Amino acid sequence: MNNTTGQKKGRSMSMSFLVTLVFALVYFYFKLPAFNFHDPAFYTFILLVAVVYCFCSILTQGLFRADSGRELWDSIKVNCTVSFGVCVVLAVIFIVGSIVSSPLLRARSYRDLLTVEQGDFASDIPEISFDQIPMLDADSARKLGDKKMGELASTVSQFEVADDYTQINYKSRPVRVTPLVYGDFFKWAANVRNGLPAYIVIDMVTQKADAVRLNEGMKYSRSEYFFRNVSRRLRFQYPTYIFDNPNFEIDDEGTPYWVCPRVVKRIGLFGGTDIHGAVLMNAITGKCEYYEDVPSWVDRVYSAELITEQYNYHGTYQNGWLNSFIGQKGVTVTTEGYNYIAKDDDVYMYTGVTSVASDGSNIGFLLTNQRTKEAKYYACAGAQETAAMSSAEGIVQYMDYTATFPLLLNISNQPTYFMALKDSGGLVKMYAMVNVQQYQLVASGTSVAGCEKNYVNLLADSNLSSESKTEAKAVKGTIADLRSAVVDGNTNVYVKLTGGDCWYVLSVSDNELAAVLSVGDSVEILPASETGELRAAYSVRRLS
């Protein structure tokens, strides 16, 4: 009898273990917790596994039909003591870890997560010519990407464009890149063998969208369903690593990669979220390699959200935890919203900085390298981004345009908000520049060149700049480089002369000759009419 009872108990324990193991594998497959004490999801995973095992042990041994409560309790103690003990230990670790990770005890450590240096705007942020100014926000890029996808008749029925457009520098040009994704499960099943055939590149200056077709399709993406899913492949290759969201980028040769930042906790068990290197996954082959020092072609390792969080810790706890609530001396935080600046072949996140009192103005702004986390603060009292957007919308209020979130530029050594003005359909119609320190100084134009010229003239009239674009003179020379772009439905030609360091913009609709110019032509570039009717800043004539 005892032997029979022992066999039944053994079978019950085996069944409980098997069911628990199946549950653990299924849960792990879908939720992908890291086997890391710094990951809160790990504690949830162990707790659920323990609960399932206890429930199965009670169920398989028929203890719900116990003759008495005491018999049930004795059996629970026998079968669930180990699982309960594991849960208690993990709960104690979690609670103690949370306490020692608290800003209440570690305010200085939170403050020091981000090292912020003082910067000089005029010297650190060089002026860029209008043919290098990014004109697109994420929403406009999505519209161009969707339009380009509609032109690809062979793929539009099977694939869609992913929404996560990553801004990077590619061949010294600011661009946004995004992969294709499968339309649905059945389209995935029909195309999984060949993978995703292309990715989209959108030039943020010329507003040109290109679909880059691959000789071999991307087999690893976020739209895969099984082991070729990026997050799942990462987890099975690096079971103890915690990862931030993977970013899609391309290297200098155009090879697609997933940049997967490795998350570490620098304060206690759960506090001080930071990045320590990244895994680069080849989107075609799935090959993964971890780098502590990320290659220079990678542009985005630290997300804008993480940088913002770390600066807010830095600004909030400068003078301790108590000061962040009482007195709030010197407490600063970032404003809502951010944008990106291309500089030295890296991408920098820009955001404004304001006092915690939130008086509607900025006291400065922050530029942070998204690859290295190098951060510089620039003291510059002025308008918040939302106020600048309202100011730009005000000068064209009769057209009911809306402004995009500003981009920070150096125009005549003046910190300047640059933004596009879009109509109700989301199309860019005009551009505006607003002085950061004196946001009543607003200039607009139907082209970037025209907007810049109007803005510089406005600065000169306000004694903020000695330059004046209205005094531009005719120049003669030989064309060294020639580019074209379609802006607001109009074809513009950008010309650089031999020995020159600036570009001249010519509107084909105003200068038909611009359409047939070639490198090596001798030309004379003349300032455009002061009537403001021309869409570009210059006109041209060919020299005999």
Three-state helix/strand/coil letters over 213-244: EEEEEECCECCCCCCCEHHHHHHHHCCCCEEC
Q: Are 265 and 157 found together in one domain?
A: yes
Q: Are residues 260 and 366 in the same domain?
A: no
Question: pLDDT per residue over 420-430, tens digit each?
Answer: 898 887 788 88
Q: What is the mean pLDDT of the chain?
A: 84
Tell me, yes or no, whether 162 and 269 share the same domain.
yes
As a whole number of angstroms, the distance between CA 532 and CA 541 comes to: 20
Query: Of 259, 291, 323, which closes a domain?
Result: 291
Residues 241, 202 within the same domain: yes
User: Using CB atoms within 10 A of its CB, is residue 404 exposed (0-12), middle (13-18) or buried (19+)?
Assistant: buried
Report the SS3 class of residue 520. coil
Q: What is the extent of the structural domain holding 348? A: 116-122+304-381
Work out the pLDDT band at 277, boundaries 50, 70, 90: very high
Both 280 and 344 in a single domain? no
Q: Among residues 291, 312, 345, which one ends one of the domains?
A: 291
Asked if pLDDT for residue 519 goes beyond 70, the answer is yes
pLDDT, average across residues 236-260? 94
pTM confidence score:
0.80
Cβ contact 485:463 at 8 Å:
no
pLDDT at 68: 56
Tell me, yes or no, whether 493 lies in a domain: yes
Does residue 299 lie within any of the structural domains?
A: no
User: CATH number of the domain that 522 lies in?
Assistant: 2.40.50.140
* CA pair distance 318, 329, nearest whole angstrom: 9
User: Which of 419, 446, 469 represents a domain boundary (last residue)?
Assistant: 469
For residue 458, pLDDT beyond 80: yes
Residue 279 is assigned to a structural domain of this protein = yes
Q: How many CA atoms lie within 13 A of 421 on its CB side?
A: 28
Structurally, how many domains does the chain consist of? 5
- For the beta carbon of residue 269, count every other beta carbon within 10 angstroms: 19
Q: Match 């000789």 to its residue by tokens.
A: 215
469 confidence band (pLDDT: 50, 70, 90): very low
Q: How many residues appear in the chain?
A: 544
Q: Is 296 inside any structural domain? A: no
pLDDT > 70? residue 220: yes
